[in-house]
Amino acid sequence: MRGRRMYAFEIAKRGKDGSWSRVASGTGQFSRPPKASVRSIAERWIHEETGRLSGGRLLVVGRRRGVPRGFVPSVRIRLLDPAGAYPLAAAYIGLDRRDVVRDQYQLPPRDRVDRG
């Protein structure tokens, strides 16, 4: 792919009820293919949100693939055609389902830990 292409993008966070709420959107000219462009937007957004994200990993998918079943996204970044109607690629920030279960484990209070 040579030259620059115009894309629209949308960043959304997932609420506790599972619904997505848009936190940013815009358009821009990009010189890379859609998956590389959405990764770039996601990495820049992660850098700007330092200290405000709960953690997880970045997953980038093409237009024909959705989120894997074992992945629980908390942030969605979509790259769209210039009109904003046709998805070209997406990036998700989240946790693998097994990590979500592991994170729910609570350590015992410090005063009750057996010092043996």
Helices (H), 50-114: 97-103
Query: CB of 39 within 8 A of CB of 58?
Result: yes
Query: CB of 9 within 8 A of CB of 79?
Result: yes
The predicted model gives 90-114 an average pLDDT of 63
pLDDT at 44: 92
Better pLDDT: 104 or 90: 90
For a pLDDT cut of 70, what percent of the chain falls above it?
83
Strands 20-30, 57-62: pairing is unpaired
Looking from the CA of 78 toward its CB, the CA atoms found within 13 Å total: 22
pTM: 0.77
CA of 102: how far to CAs of 27, 38, 55, 70, in Å? 38, 29, 14, 14
Distance CA 20, CA 18 (A): 7
Query: CB of 81 within 8 A of CB of 5?
Result: no
Per-residue pLDDT tens for 23-67?
A: 999 999 999 999 999 999 999 998 888 878 777 889 999 887 788
Distance CA 28, CA 9 (A): 8
The predicted model gives 80-88 an average pLDDT of 86
